[in-house]
Amino acid sequence: MPPPPDFHLRSHPILSIEEGPSVSFTFNGETYEAREGEMIATALFANGIRVFGHHAADGAPQGIFCANGQCSQCLVIADGIPVKSCMVPVQPGMDVRSCEGIPELKLTDGLPEFQEIETLKVQALIVGGGPSGLTAAAELGKLGVDTLVIDDKHELGGKLTLQTHNFFGSIEDCYAGVRGMDIAHILAEDVNQHESVKVWLNSTAVGIYCDKKVGLLRDGQYVLIEPEVILIAAGAREKGLAFPGCDLPGVYGAGAFQTLVNRDRVSPAERLFVVGGGNVGLIAAYHALQAGIEVVGLVEALPEVGGYKVHADKIKRLGVPIWTSHTVVQAEGSGSVQRITVAAINEQFNVIPGTQRSYEVDTILIAVGLSPVNELLVKANEFGMKALAAGDSQEIAEASAAIFSGRIAGRKVAQLLGHNVDIPDEWYETADVLRAKPGKTVPLEQADLVESGSFPVFRCDQEIPCNPCTEICPTKQIEIPDDSILGLPEFVGDSCIACGKCVLICPGLAVTIVVKKDPEKKTVDVLLPWELPLGDLAVGSTVETVDAEGRALGQGLIKKIKLGKYADRRYLMTVQVPYDQRLLVAAFRPVPISMPCEAEDQVTSDGDPIVCRCTRVGKSKIVGEIRAGVRDMNQLKASIRTGMGACGGNTCTELILRLFREEGVDLSEVTQPTHRPLETEVPLGVFAGAKPNKKAK
């Protein structure tokens, strides 16, 4: 028998791949191998298993959706107990079974031993050890404030740990030019220096109660925290999109994808499609390419992508088509996704007839925006606690902005605790700049360049907060003429030494250097960045050169491949190109990219999209209730059970509000659903203080 396929990543240009010890487990009776310590969901994906069970209501296949413990779609039965497979590590010999319908309660356990539930008082509780939580904690640590940081993951950094790309922003304020995953380590180390700051990993805040206590699940034990001030820095959750087939395994959030690839180091897809052209979608596409996954295309409903243009250009240059004013029409597949249909839309966002086309894919990433995770803040405020939010929990913005604004939040917490610290006005100004949405695009005027020697070419034509190139240039010949880092960089000198540092640090891969060499002006060397797998690329390879937005220009010859000590896992490629293309060549592709094949028969779906995936409620049912006069989301819960499932309405509430709008209902007439504890499902035994039953292991 051939060995089962292993979808663990074997190599990655940025991430280190360590082959840890493996353990055996069974899934539905078959034996599989997993890496020690990896989550059950990851182990299943690594073995090519993407359907984890079938829903009790209608038998619909279930699999990964949030990969973040928030939904319950990845439920499996592990050693007889239903668990969220994305949150529970595989144990050696674990008997994992797919969850088919409603799970059975194991009725065999004897009475456990109990221990008291502890209550711990702290001055400051920070929920979330991501960018803003960590910088807030560091500020509090400097002041000696008794602080507890909790995070539900096994390492600090939040979503930073999933970001393999270099960050934007400024070097001074938020480590611009450093990869997100490395910033996570820097911030975590900074926090760990402070004695007054405790960090609890694997700790989830499950609820805030009216007696101003916060219930935590820490390593499987329940603890109550009584903080003087609580800072919610819990980040964001991904918005959903309801279309026929949106509930198939293989359709999931871009964040979930990043978790599987960049944290868990598995390749969850072979051919994927991205829906949404914000930074999250654009970056996810790039991360897929880094992991060797084919990206068939990306659609964006608006006429322009919402993310940074440099991010969009980066993936276009690698051959990923970006279709703006397009939407996803449906996903199809038996058991899991096999095909996506997209179409052009008009200004009213309606599909233009005859523009549908389908592509064979196994994965569809949804990246249509983020919503703040702020339920705990709302509750804390309701109960009269001293409470603040930071980062995405406060306002959705780039992680670089969260890194900085966390410092402000930290000082505000200190002020609430009576510390006499001030928050400089400049901090607020900096925070505003880092939060800035992409500004206008300025056409580049490369023709004005004075070509007296080597010189950098900037393809940074959109106002975004970023300045590493100006800081890194050893001869200080790159400047942003404006006061703000939102401005565009310019080469202001005449003696570029072609060191390549600006090429290597630019987060947007938007700088190249034209090296002055050939006096006959027939060919010229350009320095280009490269941070994908090298594959067959070698000195002497011929590559297809492209311009900034990915249009093919011609051919180039690789003359040098360098991975220097300043390079931070990014190759500096010297490519020889025709002299007259020196300003145009922005990148290259290893081989000409063939456009993805369209599937043959084009289908128009009249399927009813699932809106509430926990209780499997379709759009038509909800619209029916709205038309019957229901204006109270709590009544929808009662009548058709939307929002009554595992995620507590976190996934469907926004989608349902959108349906109200589509039906012409003024949202001021709509009563929002009541939110109650718990934030995640917890076994009764944990609340009772039951000591883990050894027999169960």
- Which member of 106, 154, 560, 627 binds another protein (CB under 8 A)? 106
In the bound state with another protein, the residue whose beta carbon lies nearer, of 359 and 383, is 383
**Nearest-CA neighbor of 412 among 238, 587, 233?**
233
Is residue 56 a contact point for another protein (CB under 8 A)? yes
Interacting residues with another protein between 66 and 85 (CB under 8 A)? 72, 81-82
Q: Contact with another protein (CB under 8 A): which of 24, 31, 48, 209?
A: 209
Written as one letter, the residue type at 510 is A
- Among 299-307, 449-457, 461-469, 633-641, the segment contacting another protein (CB under 8 A): 633-641
To the nearest whole angstrom, how small is the minimum distance from the Cβ of residue 382 to another protein? Answer: 7
Structure tokens that stand for 537 in this block: 């690329």
- Residue 648 sits in the site that holds another protein (CB under 8 A): yes
Cα 652–chain centre separation: 19
Identify the residue among 45, 52, 222, 308 touching another protein (CB under 8 A).
Answer: 222
Give me the residue label for tokens 């997100």. Answer: 180
- 8 Å CB contact between 509 and 179: no
Consecutive H or E run containing 150: strand 147-150
In the bound state with another protein, the residue whose beta carbon lies nearer, of 2 and 110, is 110
> Smallest distance from the beta carbon of 630 to another protein, in angstroms?
7
Between 157 and 207, whose beta carbon lies closer to another protein? 207
3-state secondary structure (DSSP) of residue 66 = coil
**According to CB under 8 A, which one of 1, 111, 450, 538 is a site residue for another protein?**
111
Question: How many Cα atoms are found within 13 Å in the side-chain-facing hemisphere of 281?
Answer: 32
Residue written as token pair 């200004």:
347
Q: Smallest distance, Å, CB 604 to another protein?
A: 34
Backbone angles phi, psi at 359, to 5 degrees: -130, 145
Q: What is the DSSP string of 186-198?
A: HHHHHHHT-TTEE
CA 404, 408, 413, 419 torsion: positive or negative? positive
- CA-based max dimension of the chain: 88
What three-state secondary structure class fits 447?
A: helix
**Residue 310: DSSP 8-state:** H
Strands 221-232 and 118-127: parallel
Neighbours of 447 (CB within 10 A): 6
Question: How far apart are alpha carbons 100 and 382 in whole angstroms?
Answer: 40
Q: How far is the CB of 254 from another protein (least distance, A)?
A: 27
Q: Which is nearer to another protein, 382 or 494 (CB)?
A: 382
Element (H, E) at 456: strand 455-458
Closest to another protein by CB, 12 or 379: 379
Degrees (nearest 5) of the Cα angle 282, 73, 218? 90
User: Binding to another protein by residue 646, rule CB under 8 A?
Assistant: yes
CB nearer another protein, residue 101 or residue 564: 101
Q: With CB under 8 A as the contact rule, which of the stretches 204-212, 313-321, 330-338, 524-532 interacts with another protein? A: 204-212
Closest CA to 160 of 259, 40, 285, 45: 259
In the complex, what is the shortest distance from the CB of residue 139 to another protein, in angstroms, rounded to a whole number? Answer: 29
CB of 383 or CB of 427, closer to another protein: 383
Q: Between vectors from CA 233 to CA 231 and to CA 234, what angle results, nearest 5°?
A: 130
**Quick one: 450 or 684, whose CB is closer to another protein?**
684
CB of 111 to another protein, least distance (A): 5
Q: Of 82 and 169, which CB lies nearer to another protein in the complex structure?
A: 82
- Binding residue for another protein, selected from 632, 658, 659, 665, defined by CB under 8 A: 632
Residue 107 in the binding site for another protein (CB under 8 A): yes
Q: How far is the CB of 483 from another protein (least distance, A)?
A: 49
455-458/511-515 β-pairing: antiparallel
- Work out whether 108 is an interface residue with another protein (CB under 8 A): yes
Would you count residue 682 as binding another protein (CB under 8 A)?
Answer: yes
Binding of another protein at residue 676 (CB under 8 A)?
yes
Interacting residue with another protein among 17, 30, 105, 549 (CB under 8 A): 105
* Smallest gap from residue 77 Cβ to another protein (A): 11
Name the 3-class secondary structure at 395: coil
Q: Is the dihedral of CA 162, 163, 169, 174 positive or negative?
A: positive
CA 535, distance to chain mean position in Å, is 26
**Site membership for another protein, residue 635 (CB under 8 A):** yes
96-104, 167-175, 260-268, 276-284 -> range binding another protein (CB under 8 A): 96-104
Interaction of residue 439 with another protein, rule CB under 8 A:
no
| Min separation Cβ 60 and another protein, Å | 16
Select the residue interacting with another protein from 129, 177, 180, 207 (CB under 8 A).
Answer: 207
630 is a contact residue toward another protein (CB under 8 A): yes
- Contact call for residues 181 and 160 (beta carbons, < 8 A): yes
Q: Which residue, 533 or 683, is less far from another protein as judged by CB?
A: 683
| Distance of alpha carbon 62 from alpha carbon 613, whole angstroms | 10
**Which residue's entry shows tokens 């004005």?**
448
Which lies closer to another protein via its Cβ, residue 419 or residue 637?
637
Q: What one-letter code names the amino acid at 158?
A: G
Q: Of the two residues 241 and 630, which places its CB atom closer to another protein in the complex?
A: 630
What are the residues binding another protein (CB under 8 A)?
56, 72, 81-82, 101-112, 114, 117, 207, 209-211, 213, 215, 222, 224, 382-383, 628, 630-632, 634-635, 637-639, 646, 648, 671, 676-678, 681-690, 693
